[in-house]
Structure 1
Amino acid sequence: MPLESTIYLDESGNDGPNYISAQDPFYVLGGWIVPDRKIVDATVLMERFRQAHSSQTFDLKFKMFRRRPYLLCELMTKLGEIGLVPMFVLAEKRYCIAGKIVETFLDPYYSSKLRGHFGVDLEAKREIANTLYERLPTSVLNEFAASYREPSQTGFESVLSRVVASCREHVNAEVAELMLGSEDRLGDIAAAELHAVDAFGKGSATINAPCLISMAMLIEQLGRKHDISPQRIVHDEQGPYQTDFARIFQSFLSAPEEHRFQLEGMDVPFGAIRNINTLEFQKSEQQPLVQAADLLAGSIAHVAKKLVGEESLHVQESELAMFAFLPMYVPQLRLANPVCSERMLKRIGGAIREKMGISETDESSNSHAEQTRWTSTLPPGDMIPLLPARGSAAKPKGHPDHRIKIDLPFYSIANEDRELVLLLPPDVSMAQTQRDQRMYLLWTDKALAEGFLSDQDWVGHSVVEFGPPELDEFIELLRQGSQWTDWVYFQFPQPHGHMPIKRLADDLERVWQRSKRLFQTGLASEVYRQHEFDGEMVYSALMGTGDYVAIRISDGLRGSGDTREEALGDLQKTIGDASSVGQ
Structure 2
Amino acid sequence: MNFNIYCDESGNSGGNYLDPQQPFYVLSGWLVPQNISYRAKNRVKHFKDSYYGEKEELKGSEILRSNIGQHNANTLFREIGEYCTPFYVIAEKRYCIAAKIVETYLDPIHNNKIPMEHTWKNAERKDIADLIYNTCERAIEEFGRVYKNPEVNKFTQVLELLIEELNEKGFIELGKIFSGAYDYMDAIFEEEFSMIEYFPNNAMRTLNLPIFISFIQLIEEFSTKVDLKKVSMYHDNTKQFYKAYPEAFNWYAAKKKEDFKLVLQNGQVILSSLKKLKSMSFTDSLDSPLIQAADVFASFLNMYSTRVMMDKKISPESKKFGKLVIGGLLQSSKSDGLRLTDLVSSKYFVKKLAFSQGLIDELPSKESLIEYPRFSLYSM
TM-score w.r.t. the length of structure 1 is 0.59
2:129 is equivalent to residue 134 of structure 1? no
Distance 1:393 1:26, change over 3 A: closer
The equivalences for 1:332-347 within 5 A come to: 332=336, 333-347=338-352
CA RMSD of aligned residues (A): 2.6
Distance 1:391 1:296, change over 3 A: closer
Where in structure 1 are there 5+ consecutive unaligned residues? 362-388, 395-510, 526-583
Amino acid at match of 1:126: K
The equivalences for 1:72-471 within 5 A come to: 72-81=73-82, 83-137=83-137, 139-170=138-169, 172-201=171-200, 202-254=202-254, 256=256, 257-258=258-259, 267=268, 269-325=270-326, 326-330=328-332, 331-332=335-336, 333-352=338-357, 354=358, 392=370
- 2:134, 2:370 within 8 Å by CA — same for their partners in 1? no
Aligned to 1:523: 378
Aligned to 2:23: 25
1:31 is paired with a residue of what secondary structure? strand
Deviations 1:386-426 (A, max 9, x none): xxx999469xxxxxxxxxxxxxxxxxxxxxxxxxxxxxxxx
- 1:131, 1:171 within 8 Å by CA — same for their partners in 2? no
Distance 1:22 1:172, change over 3 A: same
Deviations 1:290-322 (A, max 9, x none): 111111111111110111112342322110112
- 2:163, 2:175 within 8 Å by CA — same for their partners in 1? yes
Amino acid at match of 1:350: F
2:209 is paired with a residue of what secondary structure? helix
Amino acid at match of 1:283: D
Aligned to 1:401: none
Aligned to 1:409: none
Where in structure 2 are there 5+ consecutive unaligned residues? none
Aligned to 1:41: 39
Distance 1:122 1:88, change over 3 A: same
| Alignment partners' CA distance in 1, 2:272 and 2:11 | 28
Distance 1:98 1:316, change over 3 A: same
| Alignment partners' CA distance in 2, 1:70 and 1:305 | 18
| Alignment partners' CA distance in 2, 1:287 and 1:323 | 25
| Alignment partners' CA distance in 2, 1:262 and 1:152 | 35
1:313 is paired with a residue of what secondary structure? coil
Amino acid at match of 1:73: N
Offset at residue 205 of structure 1 (A):
2.2
Distance 1:115 1:258, change over 3 A: farther
Aligned to 1:534: none
| Alignment partners' CA distance in 1, 2:91 and 2:343 | 6
- 1:108, 1:116 within 8 Å by CA — same for their partners in 2? yes
1:269 is paired with a residue of what secondary structure? strand
Offset at residue 10 of structure 1 (A):
0.4
Aligned residue-pair number: 366
| Alignment partners' CA distance in 1, 2:35 and 2:199 | 35
Offset at residue 329 of structure 1 (A):
2.2
Deviations 1:101-149 (A, max 9, x none): 0000011121111111211111111111111111112x43121022123
Amino acid at match of 2:3: S
| Alignment partners' CA distance in 1, 2:229 and 2:170 | 47
Distance 1:190 1:134, change over 3 A: same
- 1:69, 1:316 within 8 Å by CA — same for their partners in 2? yes
| Alignment partners' CA distance in 2, 1:391 and 1:214 | 27
TM-score w.r.t. the length of structure 2 is 0.89
- 1:107, 1:119 within 8 Å by CA — same for their partners in 2? yes
- 2:228, 2:276 within 8 Å by CA — same for their partners in 1? no
- 1:113, 1:523 within 8 Å by CA — same for their partners in 2? no
1:277 is paired with a residue of what secondary structure? strand
Distance 1:95 1:291, change over 3 A: same
Amino acid at match of 2:11: G
Higher helix share: 2
| Alignment partners' CA distance in 2, 1:270 and 1:393 | 33
1:58 is paired with a residue of what secondary structure? coil
- 1:196, 1:204 within 8 Å by CA — same for their partners in 2? yes
User: Percent of aligned positions with the same letter in both sequences?
Assistant: 26
- 1:29, 1:212 within 8 Å by CA — same for their partners in 2? yes
2:89 is paired with a residue of what secondary structure? strand
Distance 1:213 1:392, change over 3 A: closer
| Alignment partners' CA distance in 1, 2:105 and 2:251 | 26
| Alignment partners' CA distance in 2, 1:72 and 1:390 | 37
Deviations 1:23-77 (A, max 9, x none): 1100000111111122111111111111111112222111222212111111111
- 2:354, 2:360 within 8 Å by CA — same for their partners in 1? no
| Alignment partners' CA distance in 2, 1:305 and 1:523 | 36
| Alignment partners' CA distance in 1, 2:18 and 2:360 | 35
Distance 1:161 1:255, change over 3 A: farther
Amino acid at match of 2:76: L
Offset at residue 17 of structure 1 (A):
1.8
| Alignment partners' CA distance in 2, 1:346 and 1:33 | 28
- 2:348, 2:369 within 8 Å by CA — same for their partners in 1? no
